[in-house]
C-alpha cells in the first residue's frame, strides 16, 4: 500500500462509520420494538435486526480494516496522546475481539440467548428455576467458549467477558475495589438498621396521576440539561436510553400511579445517560473516540443525576414547592423533610432495581461473587439458587421467598450479559469521585442545586468526561479528571454524610 497516513486513517474511519451507521439503524429498530411495535411485528423485527447485525459485523471484520490498521500501526506519523492514536488503539481492540469470535459461535449465542430469554420470562413467572436451568447451562457453556476464543492473557476467563463492557479492567481490579467497598459498606448499613429510625414509606405510594408524573419528569430532565430538541422520553416496559447518533437520543421510563420514585428517578437516571450521549463529540461520531468510554463511566453519569443530584436535599429545596403544586393530593400536607427522608430510605430488599443507593451495591457484590465461579467452572449452574440465597442472607440479611425474587429476577444472564453487573457499582464509585472533584472545581454545588442551577455541573461533565469519549480507558480518565485512582472512598463518604444526618449515626 502506498497510502498516506492521513488517507489510511480517513479510510479506516469511513469503514467504522458505516458499521456504526448500520448499528444505529438497529438501535432505532430496537427502540421501536420496546416502545411502539405491535405484538404481531416481533418475528419480522427479529429478521430485520439479524440482517442489520450481520451486515454491521461484516463491515467491522472486513479484511480491509485489518490492512488499514496494520498500515497505521507500522507508521511513525501518529502523534502520541492524540484522537488518532486513541482511535487506532480502540479500533484494533474492537477488530481483534470481533475477528476472534467464530461466526458459528456468534450465531449460536444469538439464537440461544433469544430462546433463553423466553424461557427466563416463563420461569420467572412460574417461580421455576428448573425450567431455566438448561438454558443457564447452555449460556454458561457458550460464554466460557467466548472467553476462550477471545483470550485473557495471564488472567482468568472472566476477564475476557468483563472486558467487553469495561475495557481494560480485570476481575482482580474489581475484586480489590469491591472488597474495600464491602468492608466499609456492610457496617454502615448495619448502623442504619440499628438506628431504629425509618421514614414514612407510604408517602411515595400515594396517588400520583400519570399525566402529572409525565410533565413533572420531563420538566426535571429538561432542567438538569437533557435537550429535548435532540431527544424524547417514551414509555417502555424496561426503561433504557438509546443514543441513535448526533441529535437524537431516546429515553424511556414506566409509570405507576401508586409509586412516585419509579418514573421520576428512572427518568433522571436515563436523562443522565442521555446527557452523556448528547455530550459526545458529533464530529467524531462513528469512531471510538466519539463513543462513550465504558459502561461504568456511562453508569456514573446516570447515577450522579439520579442520586447525587436528584436525591439530594438541595435539589428538593428547589423542586419540592413545584412537586406539591403538581401532586397536591399526595404531597400537599407533607413537609419537605419527610419527603426527603422517604426518597432516601435505606432498607435491604430482594429486587436489585428497586434497591436504595446503599444496599444496591450489595446486590452487585452478590452477583459478582457468583459470575466468576460460574465462568471458571467452580460453580455449577444447578447450584445457583443455593449460593444466591446463601449470599443474600450473608450480604442483605434476608433470604428470598422464591427464586423469582432471587436468582431469576434479572434478565442479564439469560441474555448472555455476563460481566456486566460489576459496571453498576463501579459506576456508583466513579459518580461519587467525579462529584467530589466537581465540588472542588465549581464551589458549593448544593447552593446551586437549591437555586435550580445545574448548568455548571453539566458543563463540567461535558468538558471533562463526555467530549473525551473513549480517548482514555475508564480508570485513566477517572484519574486524569479527579487526580486520584478510582476508589470506593468518595462513595462511602457520600453515604456516611447523607445517612449520618438522616439516621443520626
Torsion of CA 230, 233, 234, 240, to 10 degrees: 100
In terms of CB distance, is 24 or 302 closer to its own copies?
A: 24
Closer CB to its own copies, residue 239 or residue 422? 239
Q: Supply the minimum distance, in Å, between the C-beta of residue 229 and its own copies.
A: 5
Rounded Cα distance, 272 and 278, in Å:
10
Nearest CA-CA partner of 299 in 279, 325, 270: 270
Minimum distance from residue 48 beta carbon to its own copies (Å): 5
Query: What are the C-alpha distances in Å from 332 to residues 207, 321, 326, 327?
Result: 12, 9, 9, 7
Identity of the residue, 231 or 406, whose beta carbon is nearer to its own copies in the bound complex: 231
Residues 6+ apart with CB under 8 A from 194: none
Q: How far is the CB of 297 from its own copies (least distance, A)?
A: 23
β strands within 21-61, DSSP E: none
Q: Would you call 329 a catalytic residue per the annotation?
A: no
Please pick, among 15, 270, 277, 371, the residue that the annotation labels catalytic: 270
The helix/strand count (H/E) of the chain reads as 21, 3
Crossing angle of helices 360-376 and 129-150, rounded to 10°: 70
Q: What's the grid cell of residue 95? A: 477488530
User: What minimum distance in Å lies between the beta carbon of 292 and its own copies?
Assistant: 17
Q: How far is the CB of 360 from its own copies (least distance, A)?
A: 31
Alpha-carbon dihedral sign for residues 59, 61, 64, 66: positive
Task: Please state the closest distance from residue 32 (CB atom) to its own copies, in A.
Answer: 6
Spell out the residues 6+ positions from residue 107 whose beta carbon is closer than 8 angstroms to its own.
Answer: none
Binding site for its own copies (CB under 8 A): 18, 21-22, 24-25, 28-29, 32, 36-45, 47-48, 51-52, 55, 227-232, 234, 244-248, 285
Answer yes or no: are the C-beta atoms of 439 and 445 closer than 8 Å: yes
Phi, then psi, of 43 in degrees rounded to 5: -65, -45
CB-based contacts of 155, cutoff 8 Å, min separation 6: 170, 171, 172
Contact 272, 304 (CB under 8 A): yes
* Closer to its own copies by Cβ: residue 38 or 196: 38
Question: For residue 146, which of 184, 98, 105, 185 has the smallest C-alpha distance?
Answer: 105
- Least separation in angstroms between residue 161's CB and its own copies is 28
Residue closer to its own copies (CB basis): 42 or 351: 42
Choose between 252 and 294: whose C-beta lies nearer to its own copies.
Answer: 252
| Residue 149 cell numbers, joined | 476464543
Instruction: Give, in order, the Cα–Cα distances in Å from 336 to each of 78, 345, 363.
Output: 57, 14, 30
Which residue has cell 458543563? 459
Residue number with CB closer to its own copies (249 or 502): 249
- Give catalytic residues, as residue numbers: 270
Amino acid at each position: 500500500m502506498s497510502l498516506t497516513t492521513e488517507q489510511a486513517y480517513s479510510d479506516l474511519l469511513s469503514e467504522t462509520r458505516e458499521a456504526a451507521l448500520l448499528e444505529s439503524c438497529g438501535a432505532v429498530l430496537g427502540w421501536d420494538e420496546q416502545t411502539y411495535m405491535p405484538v404481531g411485528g416481533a418475528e419480522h423485527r427479529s429478521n430485520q435486526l439479524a440482517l442489520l447485525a450481520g451486515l454491521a459485523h461484516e463491515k467491522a471484520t472486513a479484511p480491509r480494516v485489518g490492512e488499514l490498521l496494520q498500515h497505521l500501526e507500522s507508521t511513525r506519523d501518529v502523534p502520541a496522546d492524540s484522537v488518532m492514536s486513541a482511535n487506532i488503539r480502540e479500533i484494533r481492540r474492537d477488530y481483534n475481539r470481533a475477528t476472534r469470535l467464530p461466526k458459528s459461535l456468534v450465531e449460536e449465542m444469538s439464537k440461544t440467548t433469544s430462546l433463553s430469554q423466553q424461557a427466563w420470562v416463563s420461569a420467572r413467572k412460574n417461580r421455576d428455576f428448573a425450567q431455566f436451568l438448561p438454558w443457564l447451562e447452555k449460556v454458561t457453556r457458550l460464554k466460557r467458549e467466548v472467553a476462550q476464543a477471545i483470550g485473557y492473557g495471564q488472567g482468568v476467563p472472566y476477564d475476557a467477558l468483563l472486558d467487553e463492557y469495561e475495557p481494560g479492567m480485570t476481575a482482580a481490579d474489581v475484586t480489590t475495589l469491591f472488597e474495600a467497598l464491602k468492608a466499609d459498606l456492610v457496617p454502615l448499613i448495619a448502623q442504619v438498621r440499628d438506628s431504629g429510625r425509618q421514614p414514612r414509606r407510604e408517602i411515595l405510594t400515594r396517588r400520583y396521576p400519570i399525566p402529572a408524573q409525565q410533565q413533572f419528569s420531563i420538566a426535571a430532565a429538561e432542567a438538569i440539561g437533557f435537550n429535548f430538541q435532540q431527544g424524547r422520553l417514551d414509555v417502555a416496559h424496561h426503561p433504557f436510553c438509546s443514543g441513535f447518533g448526533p441529535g437524537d437520543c431516546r429515553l424511556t421510563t414506566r409509570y405507576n400511579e401508586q409509586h412516585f420514585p419509579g418514573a421520576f428517578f428512572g427518568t433522571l437516571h436515563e436523562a443522565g445517560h442521555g446527557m452523556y450521549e448528547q455530550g459526545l463529540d458529533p464530529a467524531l461520531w462513528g469512531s471510538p473516540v466519539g463513543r462513550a468510554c465504558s459502561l461504568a463511566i456511562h453508569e456514573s453519569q446516570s447515577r450522579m443525576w439520579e442520586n447525587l443530584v436528584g436525591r439530594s436535599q438541595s435539589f428538593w429545596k428547589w423542586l419540592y414547592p413545584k412537586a406539591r403544586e403538581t401532586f397536591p393530593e399526595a404531597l400537599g400536607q407533607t413537609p419537605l423533610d419527610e419527603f426527603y427522608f422517604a426518597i432516601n430510605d435505606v432498607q435491604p430488599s430482594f429486587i436489585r432495581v428497586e434497591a436504595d443507593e446503599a444496599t444496591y451495591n450489595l446486590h452487585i457484590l452478590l452477583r459478582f461473587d457468583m459470575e466468576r465461579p460460574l465462568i471458571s467452572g467452580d460453580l455449577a449452574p444447578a447450584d445457583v439458587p443455593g449460593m444466591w440465597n446463601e449470599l443474600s442472607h450473608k450480604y442483605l440479611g434476608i433470604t428470598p421467598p422464591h427464586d423469582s425474587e432471587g436468582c431469576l429476577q434479572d434478565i442479564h444472564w439469560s441474555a448472555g450479559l455476563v460481566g456486566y453487573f460489576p459496571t453498576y457499582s463501579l459506576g456508583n464509585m466513579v459518580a461519587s469521585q467525579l462529584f467530589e472533584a466537581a465540588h472542588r472545581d465549581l464551589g458549593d454545588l448544593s447552593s446551586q442545586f437549591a437555586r435550580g442551577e445545574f448548568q455548571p455541573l453539566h458543563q463540567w461533565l461535558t468538558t471533562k468526561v463526555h467530549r473525551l469519549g473513549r480517548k482514555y480507558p475508564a480508570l485513566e480518565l477517572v484519574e486524569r479528571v479527579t487526580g486520584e485512582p478510582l476508589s470506593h472512598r468518595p462513595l462511602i463518604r457520600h453515604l456516611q454524610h447523607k445517612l449520618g444526618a438522616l439516621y443520626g449515626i
